[in-house]
Chains A and B, each alone.
Chain A
Amino acid sequence: MSEASWKKNRKHRSQLTRSQQRAAWGLSAPAMILLFLFMILPFFMSVFYSFTSRQLVVSAKRPTSFVGFTNYEKVFTDKVTRQSFFNTLEYTLILVPSVMVLATLLALLVNRKARGVTIFRLIYFSPQVVTMTVVTVIWSAFFSGMEDGLFNMILKSFGIPAQKWLQDPNLAMPCIAVMSIWQCLGMQMIIVLGGLQFIPEEIYEAGTIDGCTSWQELIYITIPQLKNILVYVFISNTIYSLKMFTQVFMLTQGGPSNSTTTLVYRMYEEGFTNKRVGRTSALAVVFFLIVLVISQVQNKVTEDK
């Protein structure tokens, strides 16, 4: 290669890199600008304001000042906020195990080569397309607290007294969990089904030769092979339950007697009803840290392969 053509080639190369560089940043710019404005900036604002007394509307009467860790103290001492942690935990403890067990059972049920089985998969999946606001409208009709509500009439036919459902502090959260499970179960089933179909046929064949019963097959082959998928279902549903808001906002507004105030609903109340940006930001930071820890658990558990 002559000196001149080598130089020309190099020049051409660097031109290419430069135009690639420019194109890449140009193509990334719109997303980056929007993410900066609506994700990164608000995130750092949350951290910053969590140490201040910032109100939603700043006035001369209520200037913003640094308050140290007061807002964080309030997260754990404010009665309703503390209650919201327990409520969210209750919801998560009902929803996540139910979804994991039921989704796995459903996936096993539809993981057969039977005629028409794909149609049943679609049917089980279909509640997923119903917007959550509509889900709550439908189920609040079933969970009517009146004597002659649908579920109360069913209870009555078994001789069980009528319940107040969503107006009963002990039952409101389980009721909300039931409708949420109905909506999301089909989707989780599809995810587990995807995992089932990844399990190599040979393992089952080896099991059959060793004289495995179907129960042993499930315990020693299927579930261990599904481990990563089940961890994923566990984590994603946990995070999903921590974010629960719409159901409460539509049906109970946190009541009765704060039994359904969730973390996100509390943020809404503190931020927009009580107009305390500082306190809301502290709660938001704590909320973020919880989600962060949980999503790191997934990485740790699924890493060892």
Chain B
Amino acid sequence: MAMAQNQTRKYVSNTLFYVLYVAVAILFLAPLVFLFVSSLKDETQLISDMTTMKAFIPYGKMGLDNYVQVFEKMDFLHYFRNSAINAIIQVAAGLLINGMMGYALGLLEFKGRKFLISLMISLTIIPTEAVVINRFLVAVNLGVVNTVWALSLPNLAIPMYVYLFYQHFRGMPKDLVEAAVIDGESYTGIFFRIMTPLSKPIYATVAIMSFIRAWGDLLWPTLVVRDNTWMTLPQKLRSLNDSVYTYWGQIFAFSAMVTLPILIVFLVFQKQFVQSVAMTGIKG
């Protein structure tokens, strides 16, 4: 009797938890559902649906018209290409540059090591926003404004990433380095041929962080890219959003396509994604 009661109670509380889970999930998903559903709707229907809960329901006249328009009228591929090239440079070159320094700080012994470590820790405190105007003056003086280099170069070396790599490599066995040196491997070679292949998880983590950062940044691109040639997706989205002549359906289709690449990366690399978050959490 008591056991049966206990079981009923457990059953009820379990059900209650699932009801809560689903309710919260709806709150988190609704805006995303709204975005994708609206991007598929015909403009007239979209406008009238936007005033009711119908905005979240896929029905009626739906199709890819808005997407076609975004490709044809807004030259989506041009901005996508700009954002993609910028992100690829930032991720690939960033991993290399920050990884190399993290390895040097973590595993090699040299004069100035302690100084560089404390310098990195101090630099993690400086928010990029606090240096942005003079960083812009540096970019102007280097003559890179309105090029892809202005977008990417200042965002390659990130003290936080160097620090994460340093933490990682510090935990690797030093014996590995010594053994490889006896085998005639150079210290640089050890990094590329031994340490990097052993460090895939940290590379994945930092890659995800820097991709998100590169893909979404608006402030810096706005400052250094003033013409169409290297304008990125967030910049273009901003100018579309500002214009009264743009259709809602097309803005949503554009937004949906800005979101999709990260969403796909997220769904494929869920574990590393969540790990990269936990990492920033623990390392501070």
Q: Chain A: residues with CB nearer than 8 A to chain B?
A: 16-17, 19-21, 23-28, 30-32, 34-35, 37-43, 45-46, 49, 106, 109-110, 112, 114, 116-117, 120-142, 144, 148-150, 153, 182, 185-187, 190-191, 194-195, 229, 232, 236, 239, 242-243, 245-246, 249-250, 264, 267-268, 271-272, 277, 280-281, 284-285, 287-288, 291-292, 295, 298
Contact B110 A25 (CB under 8 A): yes
Can you spell out 9 A-B residue pairs with CB atoms less than 8 angstroms apart?
A32-B116, A129-B212, A130-B262, A133-B233, A138-B32, A190-B281, A264-B219, A291-B127, A291-B130
Point out the residue from B34, B51, B266 that lies within 8 Å of A138, measured CB to CB.
B34
Contact B241 A24 (CB under 8 A): no
Q: Please choose the segment from B14-22, B61-69, B72-80, B197-205 that sits at the chain A interface, where 4 or more of its residues have CB less than 8 A away.
A: B14-22
Complex Cα gap A46–B109 (Å): 34
Report the nearest B residue to A114, measured CB to CB: B17
Contact A42 B25 (CB under 8 A): no
Report the nearest A residue to B240, measured CB to CB: A137
CB distance from A179 to the nearest CB of B (A): 8
CB distance from A285 to the nearest CB of B (A): 8
Q: B241-284 CB contact bits vs A (8 Å, 1 = yes)?
A: 10000001001100100110011011000100110011011101
For B265, what are the chain A residues with a Cβ–Cβ distance below 8 Å? 129
Contact A277 B282 (CB under 8 A): no
Contacts A42-B134, A133-B237; is A239 near B113 (CB within 8 Å)?
A: no
Chain A to chain B: the 6 pairs with minimum beta-carbon distance, closest first? A23-B187, A191-B281, A42-B134, A45-B134, A131-B216, A34-B157
Task: Check if B40 is an interface residue, CB within 8 A of chain A.
Answer: no
Point out the residue from B35, B135, B277 that lies within 8 Å of A38, measured CB to CB.
B135
Contact A23 B137 (CB under 8 A): no
Report the nearest A residue to B238, measured CB to CB: A250
Contact A249 B219 (CB under 8 A): yes
Q: B22-59 CB contact bits vs A (8 Å, 1 = yes)?
A: 00110011011011001000000000001110010000
Count of A-B contacts with CB under 8 A? Answer: 277
For B20, what are the chain A residues with a Cβ–Cβ distance below 8 Å? 109
Interface of B is mostly: helix
Point out the residue from B28, B31, B136 that lies within 8 Å of A139, measured CB to CB.
B31
Complex Cα gap A124–B101 (Å): 35
For A43, what are the chain B residues with a Cβ–Cβ distance below 8 Å? 126, 130-131, 134
Task: Check if B104 is an interface residue, CB within 8 A of chain A.
Answer: yes
Contact B156 A277 (CB under 8 A): no
Contacts A28-B116, A138-B35, A243-B127; is A126 near B135 (CB within 8 Å)?
A: no
B119-171 interface with A by 8 A CB criterion: 123, 125-138, 142, 153-154, 156-157, 159, 162
Contact A133 B218 (CB under 8 A): yes
Q: B77-114 CB contact bits vs A (8 Å, 1 = yes)?
A: 00000000000000000001110110111001111110
Contact A130 B32 (CB under 8 A): yes
Complex Cα gap A132–B128 (Å): 17
Contact B277 A31 (CB under 8 A): no
Contact A127 B110 (CB under 8 A): no
- For the A-B complex with A25-B110, A124-B24, A142-B31 known, give 12 more contacts whose Cβ atoms are closer than 8 Å: A23-B104, A30-B156, A110-B21, A122-B270, A124-B28, A125-B273, A125-B277, A126-B28, A133-B234, A150-B51, A236-B284, A284-B130
For A38, what are the chain B residues with a Cβ–Cβ distance below 8 Å? 131, 135, 138, 153-154, 157
Contact A123 B28 (CB under 8 A): yes
CB distance from A142 to the nearest CB of B (A): 7
Interface centre among B191, B248, B263, B284 (most CB of A within 10 A): B284
For B131, what are the chain A residues with a Cβ–Cβ distance below 8 Å? 38-39, 42-43, 46, 284
CB distance from B199 to the nearest CB of A (A): 14
Point out the residue from A126, A229, A232, A249 that lies within 8 Å of B266, measured CB to CB.
A126
Point out the residue from B98, B128, B134 that lies within 8 Å of A281, measured CB to CB.
B134
Task: Check if B186 is an interface residue, CB within 8 A of chain A.
Answer: yes
CB distance from B147 to the nearest CB of A (A): 15
Contact A194 B282 (CB under 8 A): yes
CB distance from B132 to the nearest CB of A (A): 7
Complex Cα gap A120–B23 (Å): 11
Report the nearest A residue to B215, measured CB to CB: A131
Report the nearest B residue to A277, measured CB to CB: B133
For B108, what are the chain A residues with a Cβ–Cβ distance below 8 Å? 20, 23-24, 27
Point out the residue from B50, B123, B212 that lies within 8 Å of A150, measured CB to CB.
B50
